[in-house]
Chains A and B, each alone.
Chain A
């Protein structure tokens, strides 16, 4: 049943590649192409944001002004730091320092979890009032229960702020989803690193997970000013 003259697998080398260099080239290119696709995936949301931000300037400024910029700022620093730790993880892999890879990757996971934890509380603040819970301000989930009174805008602008919050939840939610998917994958790579599966000659899985994580950071780099900083002045 197995092919008669295909070369036997040599460790990480897959049977359909001629050598590790080709395999690495393919894997890295594949991840970049996937990232290009993700740019367009989030791009649809950014395009929607552009259209409505232009149309409902006042509502967007009010909605943005109500978001806590300090939390956004903190989270941005956390995510940038996680990109640093991720880059250091890849760096360690290239130098063959397996233990260090694990350390840096766990640091990345830790920072990513901090980010998500903060997001959990941010969301909670806006969602809890919809169920009559929490001591915070009004319900900011778009729909029947949306309470624009906390935004201090004119009555005719109030309904338009729902679109801002729809975008807030959709964009940060999709971003958070990408982190939730990324964190277990980083843990899996960390586990493989712990087992000594990576070397200077072959550490491509660490590299490509790194590329994914940096992309997730880049999305937040754009989300932060567009969502949190449009209403401060």
Chain B
């Protein structure tokens, strides 16, 4: 039984770009660098994080290149430490954390709830400048001698012994953290105060729920890592001694404070992606999402429970075993809401009318790879097996399956889904699908061997390894090459589409949602008239709404 009724969007056969939209509302530098339009700020972020992604990716290339040979002789151990640290710092703080919220979140949330802008447009712009300044500090530190502590800054190495630019990098990350806090603050207030008439909480797109939950984590978690980094900087510069055993400090306290944020941070990285998946899967199954309230509430549950599990990163640190038992039990709890999402997505597809457009391919990639990443987390949450697996490549594979196989797949799926809305043009569907396949193949080839390597005992962050691990390492590096090429293609065909792409029309996918009821690209003020919402979310049993254009 096919529950969807509309396979084609109700827009004219030949689409044209609207005469006035947010992109041509001013061309000079002031209209961009002093903009308060959430859509333009999203584009500014898109450019910045793309640059950081390329940089982080280049460091990854260096890592995999060095690991082609067992003696790691392509670079010194000291250089290798700087390379993997740079990769981690850039990818975590300057790509993954802002990625979906600052680009798709900023662009879409006001549109999705029928508002003219976010609650605080100038704070939105400020958050971008804060991000850029933080990035500048950090990049300066990375390029002028580098950072060799790992992205986790563990003390007392980072505070006492490291001969690298710890203080500068710490300040840069501290500053960037405020960008995240300001974004979260804006989203929370916007969702509470600026929904259009009729847009009740339980009619909001799940993308918005996901970002609301993410914003809670940004607000409550980031300040703790901010103060921790400040303490590291104080210790480094003024020898305060909070984490230095020689002065009575406890290095494990640093880890508690650090991971109190950094574990919920991984939910900052995955929740928005899950929000994207919810949007895409319902559109490309042409069926209302199954279990809307379960998915919405599971996002909130992940946000809250995610704050209770941080010490599972510290099981072998010397912390109390009894405390570790508590954290282990709580860690198993946090898997449940994620599983609920996967079940509901699957149920959404059941008896739906599934089509294989590029965004949907990324959805399938997400679900499969997130599943593997999440399940391998269960081995790590278990005290016994974690002792064997921690600080090995098993961990590296686990988090890359979630961060790359999950978060980045979701990000790319979202970029492809909303690209026509953001720029008003379609990209080549053929190239889109090829790239999605390439990325999926390259990704698995890179990281599947790493599960094996970790289980067999190869430690992480080592620049050299025993001979018998070379085959798996070479396989992983070959996969990274394919993955890199896979990532290159979208940047080319998407850029090409910005000038040569066919105009998309208001609703090229025939999707449901307020963002599809305005032009592509949208006008600067989003809607000519404030929408009034009468339908539930994802009303795929009804015809899509026509845009109300002046």
| Direct contact between the two chains A and B in their complex (CB within 8 A) | yes
List residues of A whose CB falls within 8 A of some B CB: 1, 3-6, 14-18, 22, 25-26, 29-30, 33-34, 36-38, 40-45, 47-48, 51-52, 55-56, 141-144, 159-160, 162-163, 166-167, 169-170, 174
Q: Name A41's contact: one of B25, B223, B250 (CB within 8 Å).
A: B223
B279 within 8 A of A: no
Q: Name B189's contact: one of A26, A162, A167 (CB within 8 Å).
A: A26
B509 within 8 A of A: no
CB closest chain-A residue, reference B529 = A5
A1 CA to B194 CA in the complex, in Å? Answer: 24
B374 within 8 A of A: no
A-B contact count (CB 8 A): 124
A14 CA to B36 CA in the complex, in Å? Answer: 12
- Is the pair A48, B121 in contact by a Cβ cutoff of 8 Å? no
A181: shortest Cβ distance to chain B, in Å?
Answer: 13
B517 within 8 A of A: no
- Is the pair B550, A3 in contact by a Cβ cutoff of 8 Å? no
Given A34-B185, A166-B241, 10 extra CB contacts under 8 A? A4-B523, A16-B116, A26-B119, A30-B119, A33-B185, A37-B220, A40-B223, A44-B231, A166-B242, A174-B227
Residue numbers in B under 8 Å from A37 (CB-CB): 181, 185, 219-220, 222-223
A159 CA to B244 CA in the complex, in Å? Answer: 12
CB closest chain-A residue, reference B226 = A41
Q: Name A45's contact: one of B26, B227, B260 (CB within 8 Å).
A: B227
A22: shortest Cβ distance to chain B, in Å?
Answer: 6
B196: shortest Cβ distance to chain A, in Å?
Answer: 10
B222: shortest Cβ distance to chain A, in Å?
Answer: 7
Query: Can you report 19 A-B residue pairs in the complex whose CB atoms are below 8 A from each other?
Result: A4-B525, A14-B121, A15-B116, A16-B117, A25-B193, A26-B119, A29-B192, A37-B219, A37-B223, A40-B224, A44-B224, A44-B226, A44-B227, A44-B231, A45-B227, A159-B248, A160-B248, A163-B242, A166-B241
A52 CA to B252 CA in the complex, in Å? Answer: 12
- Is the pair A142, B219 in contact by a Cβ cutoff of 8 Å? no
B517: shortest Cβ distance to chain A, in Å?
Answer: 16
Interface of A is mostly: helix
- Is the pair B223, A51 in contact by a Cβ cutoff of 8 Å? no
Residue numbers in A under 8 Å from B188 (CB-CB): 29, 33
List residues of B whose CB falls within 8 A of some A CB: 20, 25-26, 31, 115-121, 181, 185, 188-190, 192-194, 219-224, 226-228, 231, 234, 238-242, 247-250, 253, 256-257, 260, 523-525, 528-530, 550
B23: shortest Cβ distance to chain A, in Å?
Answer: 12
A34 CA to B222 CA in the complex, in Å? Answer: 12
A60 CA to B525 CA in the complex, in Å? Answer: 58
- Is the pair B223, A44 in contact by a Cβ cutoff of 8 Å? yes
- Is the pair B194, A26 in contact by a Cβ cutoff of 8 Å? yes
- Is the pair B248, A6 in contact by a Cβ cutoff of 8 Å? no
A29 CA to B550 CA in the complex, in Å? Answer: 34
- Is the pair B121, A166 in contact by a Cβ cutoff of 8 Å? no
- Is the pair B240, A170 in contact by a Cβ cutoff of 8 Å? yes
A132: shortest Cβ distance to chain B, in Å?
Answer: 19
A142 CA to B120 CA in the complex, in Å? Answer: 42
A76 CA to B194 CA in the complex, in Å? Answer: 40
A86 CA to B105 CA in the complex, in Å? Answer: 37
Q: Name B524's contact: one of A3, A25, A44 (CB within 8 Å).
A: A3
Residue numbers in A under 8 Å from B194 (CB-CB): 16-17, 22, 26
B33: shortest Cβ distance to chain A, in Å?
Answer: 15
Residue numbers in A under 8 Å from B193 (CB-CB): 22, 25-26, 29
Residue numbers in B under 8 Å from A38 (CB-CB): 223
Q: Name A166's contact: one of B26, B219, B240, B525 (CB within 8 Å).
A: B240
CB closest chain-B residue, reference A5 = B528
- Is the pair B115, A16 in contact by a Cβ cutoff of 8 Å? yes
A26 CA to B116 CA in the complex, in Å? Answer: 14
Residue numbers in A under 8 Å from B226 (CB-CB): 41, 44
Q: Name B257's contact: one of A1, A47, A52, A166 (CB within 8 Å).
A: A47
Residue numbers in B under 8 Å from A16 (CB-CB): 115-119, 121, 194
A13: shortest Cβ distance to chain B, in Å?
Answer: 12
- Is the pair B116, A170 in contact by a Cβ cutoff of 8 Å? no
A81 CA to B29 CA in the complex, in Å? Answer: 48
Known: A30-B119, A30-B120. A40 touches B239 (CB 8 A): no
Known: A30-B120, A41-B227. A163 touches B25 (CB 8 A): no
Residue numbers in A under 8 Å from B221 (CB-CB): 40
CB closest chain-B residue, reference A173 = B234
A45 CA to B242 CA in the complex, in Å? Answer: 10
- Is the pair B525, A36 in contact by a Cβ cutoff of 8 Å? no
- Is the pair B550, A4 in contact by a Cβ cutoff of 8 Å? yes
A5 CA to B256 CA in the complex, in Å? Answer: 52
- Is the pair B119, A36 in contact by a Cβ cutoff of 8 Å? no
Known: A26-B194, A162-B248. A42 touches B227 (CB 8 A): yes
A45: shortest Cβ distance to chain B, in Å?
Answer: 6
CB closest chain-A residue, reference B215 = A33
B30: shortest Cβ distance to chain A, in Å?
Answer: 11
